[in-house]
Amino acid sequence: MSIYSTKIKANKADQAEFTNPFTNQVYKRGELNVKVNSKELVGERAMAIMKRQTDSIISTTHPDFPAIIDPTHIAIGPFVSGLDDNLFIDTVLGVGTNGVFGYNHPKVFPRLQKLGSIIPGYMAAGTDFFFDSRHGAPAAQDLAEMMCAELKTAYGEEYMMNFANAGTESNENALKVAMFSKFRRVKEQLSDKQYDSMCEQLEIKKVELPNDTMWSNYPFFIIAFKGAFHGRTTSSNTISYSKRRQKEGYQSIPYVMHLPYNEKIDFTQYIDTTPLKELIEKKNLKAVIDEGKIPADLLAGIIMEPIQGEGGYIVPESDFLDCLNTFLGKYRSRGVILISDEVQTGLYRTGTFSGMQNWYKDYPNLKPDVLSFAKPLHVGGVMVQKRLLNDWPAGKFSGTWSEGNLLAIAVAVYTLEELKNEDPTLGRSYQENCVEAGKYLRGKLSQLAETVEDNFPGTCAMSNIRGVGQMNAFDMPDGDLVNKVVHQAFLHGMHILGTGPNSIRIFGTVDQREREADMIVEVLEDVILNVLKDEADKSSEFTTVSVSKK
């Protein structure tokens, strides 16, 4: 295989198009097909580009093959250029960091083009300034009002927004809300003497500030889940529990407990219900913690992804959700805060504005007190119920990016505005399309799984097809096979990623067309059948060699 192309019939009625501002070339989304030259993809030029980058940029999670993209050439919806005129279909979308529409939506891109010529990435410093534009450029308050309105509709509560640099900082700020709220609650419960005794029993030391002293730490617990990924800064990395390489060798914050995700949980194994004052007075506090239990009055919050991302695109089941719902119903009165990490699931990627809405409708105690957003929002943002922010001291939230990057804010505002419209090609709302397109894709994947099993009986090469909206995945027998499929998919013109120990994830746009889902499945069929054939041939060769030696 040198030249590979999909052969999905064009949809001439699909008028979504992108005019390249560098060449004035017009590309129609409904007429594009994957077309790649595999020799170019791994050729000398590709290798030179990869080397230039790896020689000067610290390695992160790049694959060992040159998956190069060029969004300045052909880029619309899920389609994006590789080297030369190679055209990919992208089911990674920057691991969700690209807009929910993918690349260059025709109603969003032209507005950004105009705005970008005036304020190219202008950044506001902290909350030192207030912004307004006489030419209609969105400012921080425009996005914040839209986000608050969406959540008021979703959960019936008043929220406020704080901007941040990225998802990990959003989660850091979410944890700060939970911890400081718990701090204030504990200070109300305890006298100064009791509070001092609590810290002394836990061997927490005091530190000297220039003109003050303070405790060096605070024993407020966070529950997170195994398989979670919440970011790479210290606190968010501590509550993550996905891959060893993300955590090994780094310090962690204390007082974090990881529970199984998507299992029936007996919280009585992990929570001690004794009132905090009694534990302090009887000097039982340290013993309870050493036993591996959390004093209920010191539990600040629970953070969870509505659908686990890096953990394997795990959709939670009713037993798990029911246990969590029951626990929160019982312990919210003791100050436990629920943080919903919406960095991947937010902005209608599951068909609802926030992923937690999928579960909240049946489990009312899963109403989030705090939500963290980023990725398709293009700025980080933490949303906090107003009741938690009463009388907060000035400066508890701050940062150079606390008013956001104005160009990124415009991306978010224009995206949210467009999400209220209807794509003429789809004939339905984006939210409805997201749900229905996801069902269509999963149906096609199920058919493909049967085809693969017919060709390679007993391999169970595709199983556990799952998803909500445009977050979809399936399992393969092992991680090695996943890596081979990912590599071969690249050579066949599709960017795709593994997730969890042995799964492949498919991130689709909220406006995905059926022909694009067909294209994804066509590439997967060619790739998986080729990989399994190669594996079978190798096994046959090994058997032949063994027999001949014998």
Domain match, 337 and 436 both: no
Domain match, 307 and 185 both: yes
Domain match, 447 and 342 both: no
How many other C-beta atoms are found inside a 10 Å radius of the C-beta of residue 303?
26
pLDDT the model gives residue 98: 82
Distance from C-alpha of 507 to C-alpha of 471, rounded to nearest angstrom? 5
Domain range for 440 = 430-503
36 and 491 in contact (C-beta within 8 Å)?
yes
Domain match, 376 and 443 both: no
CA distances from 466 to 365, 472, 476, 505 (A): 25, 6, 13, 10
Domain match, 238 and 338 both: yes
> Would you say residue 417 lies in a domain?
no
Side-chain-side CA neighbours of 81 within 13 Å: the count stands at 13
CA–CA–CA angle 415, 417, 418 (5° rounding): 65
pLDDT the model gives residue 543: 54
> Would you say residue 239 lies in a domain?
yes
Closest CA to 241 of 231, 251, 255: 231
Q: When comparing pLDDT for 353 and 400, which is higher?
A: 353
> Would you say residue 134 lies in a domain?
no
Q: Please state the domain count of the chain.
A: 3
Residue 239 belongs to domain with CATH number = 3.40.640.10
Mean pLDDT, rounded, for 153-163? 96
pLDDT the model gives residue 545: 46
Closest CA to 183 of 432, 497, 393, 23: 393
Mean pLDDT, rounded, for 416-420? 95
pLDDT the model gives residue 542: 55
Q: What is the pLDDT of residues 265-301, one digit of tens each?
A: 999 999 999 999 999 999 999 999 999 999 999 999 9
Query: What is the per-residue burial (b if ≥16 Cβ within 10 Å, else e) of 62-96?
Result: eeeebbbbeeebbbbbbbbbbbeebbbbbbbbbbb
250 and 234 in contact (C-beta within 8 Å)?
yes
Domain match, 90 and 171 both: no
> Would you say residue 95 lies in a domain?
yes
Residue 547 — very low, low, confident or very high, per pLDDT cuts 50/70/90?
A: very low
pLDDT the model gives residue 120: 56
pLDDT the model gives residue 548: 41
Domain match, 437 and 383 both: no
pLDDT the model gives residue 550: 38
**The pTM of the whole model exceeds 0.85:** yes
Distance from C-alpha of 384 to C-alpha of 398, rounded to nearest angstrom? 15
pLDDT the model gives residue 249: 77
Residue 455 — very low, low, confident or very high, per pLDDT cuts 50/70/90?
A: very high
Encoded tokens for 108? 């969003």
Domain match, 106 and 179 both: no
Domain match, 497 and 438 both: yes
Q: What is the pLDDT of residues 356-392, one digit of tens each?
A: 999 999 999 999 999 999 999 988 999 999 999 998 8
137 and 342 in contact (C-beta within 8 Å)?
no
Q: What is residue 363's three-state secondary structure?
A: coil
pLDDT the model gives residue 246: 79
Q: What is the pLDDT of residues 63-117, one digit of tens each?
A: 778 989 998 999 999 999 998 889 999 999 888 888 899 999 999 999 988 887 7
463-468 β-sheet, strand order = 463-468, 471-475, 503-507, 497-499
> Would you say residue 527 lies in a domain?
no
> Would you say residue 415 lies in a domain?
no
Average of per-residue pLDDT values in the chain: 91
> Would you say residue 397 lies in a domain?
no
168 and 236 in contact (C-beta within 8 Å)?
yes
Residue 469 belongs to domain with CATH number = 3.90.1150.10
Distance from C-alpha of 9 to C-alpha of 185, rounded to nearest angstrom? 62
Domain match, 48 and 180 both: no
pLDDT the model gives residue 173: 93
Encoded tokens for 496? 């795709």
The answer on pLDDT for 11 being more than 70 is yes
> For residue 510, what are the contacts with CB-CB under 8 A and spacing of at least 6?
100, 101, 348, 349, 419, 430, 431, 433, 434, 469, 470
pLDDT the model gives residue 540: 73
Q: What is the pLDDT of residues 18-73, one digit of tens each?
A: 999 899 999 999 999 999 999 999 999 999 999 998 899 888 776 778 989 998 99
Domain match, 200 and 349 both: yes
Q: What is the DSSP letter of 386?
A: G
Mean pLDDT, rounded, for 235-257? 84
> Would you say residue 148 lies in a domain?
no
Distance from C-alpha of 14 to C-alpha of 80, rounded to nearest angstrom? 18
Domain match, 185 and 108 both: no
